[in-house]
Homo-oligomer: A and B are copies of this chain.
Amino acid sequence: MNTPCIALLLTGNELMSGDTVDSNSAMIATQLGEHGLEIGEKCTVGDDPILLQSALARLSDQYPAVIVNGGLGPTRDDLTSEVIAALTDVELTENPEARAHVEDWCAQRRIAPNPANLKQAFVPTGCELIHNPLGSALGFAIDINNCLVLTTPGVPSELEAMLPALVTHLKARVGGEARQILRLQTFGIGESSVEQRIKRIATRWPSAVTLGFRAGMPQLELKLSVPSIEDIPAQETARALLEEDFGDHILGENSTRLAEKLQAVLRNQNKTMTTAESCTGGLIASMMVREPGSSAVLGTGFVTYANRAKRDQLGVAPTTLKEYGAVSEPVVKEMLLGALHRSGADIGVAVSGIAGPGGGTEDKPVGTVWIAWGTQDDLRTHTTVVSGSRSLFQNLIAAACLDLIRRHLEGLPPLPHYFTRQA
């Protein structure tokens, strides 16, 4: 590792008790990583001046820069400024710019500044303020011996808003060069499968490109990272290699979500969709409606958990239900046709399964699901068994249903790797 190493000091009793899961440090590391800045050590302590001071003394001795996160608020538990003043042997003095910021912040909220608010205007003498566009607590930059110490608030949105300024301070001090990062969102393929495929084509993989993964439920993000802008062609070569093997699993760049991608495809084709959900209970429709603009592509959905609902809302024949059972190919077919007919949508998906933990039989164990998708003239079905918890089952199946419609509309191979591997 030739990248500059920075230490991160997090403070807060809520981080020690387990009441809060720390997501700030991941946010900082991700953002810094894009600028070639690396975190070498993270240290977390409670709101205790002795622990905080000894941790900061140690880290500022070992690293060229330390980011302190938390402890800048208005309460007496917020100790960062005091501890830094003690370590650098300076006073806490009222900074006029900080005072104006706190007063403005209070004025915007139509409250009179109280002593707790105004405490935030007191910072170590000689520090350089870091603007907080969202909150009352300002951060600051100060040297402890030769270490650059940057303070930031614990509120995630405020921290996020201050990260660009942090990066500027850090690059000026410790260097670091922006890496070029391409993020590809995929669905239906796992980390190990991607790794195996890349091993097979290892000789063709450009050496400048580092491949990383971030597993999000239900998507997998592939991160193609290169050191500099000259390596963009290598990055594109790597992207082409990935597309060659499983381009149909790639949804898009950056943070593209499955439902967002499907909405875009539907809009492009000027089509609408519908859903007929039993075991997912409305989850598929709600994933679509979570995306802004969904009214253009999804007008009607059906939650037909009970057999009566499948009959009354979708027109599934009682004899079909009786003969084949609710979790069967004929039933999901009739559910889909009923939903298409009654909603007037162009394309749809119907799903019926046994989410568990009860309800399984020898023939149809918990996790069995039947899916029908497509149009009145071009309808497909598939069955599979998903093991795992009820909620994992629902999340995976709902995502797969969206993907099946996307594949249908785009004329891609009908089934993702996720299903074909099992077949």
Listed in ascending order, the chain A residues whose CB lies under 8 Å from chain B are 15-23, 25-31, 33, 38-46, 51, 55, 212-214, 275, 277, 279-286, 288-290, 292-295, 298-306, 308-309, 312-313, 342-344, 355-358, 390-391, 394
Contacts and interface: CB of A to CB of B under 8 A. Distances in A.
A16 B43 contact: no
Contacts of A394: 286, 289-290
Given A19-B214, A300-B313, A281 B292 contact: no
Contacts of A304: 299-300
A31 B19 CA distance: 11
Contacts of A277: 282
A305 B299 contact: yes
Contacts of A344: 308
A15 B277 CA distance: 38
A300 B295 contact: no
Contact of A30 (B17, B39, B306, B357): B17
Given A282-B289, A302-B303, A306-B300, A18 B22 contact: no
Given A281-B285, A282-B286, 10 more contacts: A40-B45, A275-B303, A281-B290, A282-B284, A289-B305, A290-B390, A292-B357, A300-B305, A300-B308, A308-B344
Contacts of A33: 17-18
24 contacts: A17-B33, A18-B25, A18-B28, A19-B214, A20-B26, A21-B23, A22-B25, A40-B51, A42-B42, A43-B43, A281-B290, A281-B301, A282-B283, A282-B284, A283-B283, A285-B303, A289-B305, A289-B394, A290-B390, A292-B357, A295-B305, A295-B306, A300-B306, A312-B342
A300 B18 CA distance: 40
Given A289-B280, A306-B300, A308-B299, A51 B43 contact: no
A67 B308 CA distance: 55
A283 B15 CA distance: 31
B300 A281 contact: no
Contact of A213 (B19, B39, B45): B19
Most buried by B among A42, A46, A289, A355: A289
A21 B17 contact: no
A358 B295 CA distance: 11
B302 A19 contact: no
Given A282-B282, A282-B283, A306-B300, A16 B38 contact: yes
Given A294-B281, A303-B300, A17 B42 contact: no
Contact of A41 (B31, B44, B295): B44
Contacts of A41: 43-45, 51, 55
A355 B313 CA distance: 26
Nearest to A24: B21
A45 B22 CA distance: 15
Top 5 closest A-B pairs, CB basis? A281-B289, A282-B282, A299-B306, A301-B303, A18-B29
